[in-house]
Amino acid sequence: MKRLLQKIAFFFEMQSFGVCAWWARKLGINSSKVRLGFIYFSFVALGSPILLYLIMAWILEHKHYFKFQPKRKKSIWEL
């Protein structure tokens, strides 16, 4: 049973999407604290943060589709 749990944990560690690491970099904190926050919030909110996590993972996986081109400022000569 312990070996099965280790395989499952290893699978999720290798297939993780980096959502918690991305939030940790943005917030400037340790990623383990973000992971614990997701776990605690999942218990309190009855699993709804898992849906939020999957949405964020999908967005991070496909972020090249969401990159917006910054508007180029017009120079004084282009008015």
Q: What is the pLDDT of residues 41-56, one digit of tens each?
A: 988 998 888 888 888 8
Q: What is the DSSP letter of 70?
A: P
Nearest to 38 by CA among 28, 57, 52: 52
Instruction: Give pTM, 2 decimals.
Output: 0.59
What's the total number of domains in the chain?
Answer: 1
Is 35 inside a domain boundary?
Answer: yes
Is 45 inside a domain boundary?
Answer: yes
Is 74 inside a domain boundary?
Answer: no
Nearest to 52 by CA among 31, 15, 23: 23
Measured CA to CA, the distance from residue 54 to residue 77 in angstroms comes to 47
What's the domain range around 44?
17-68
Measured CA to CA, the distance from residue 16 to residue 43 in angstroms comes to 20
Give the highest mean pLDDT range of 2-6, 14-18, 73-77.
2-6
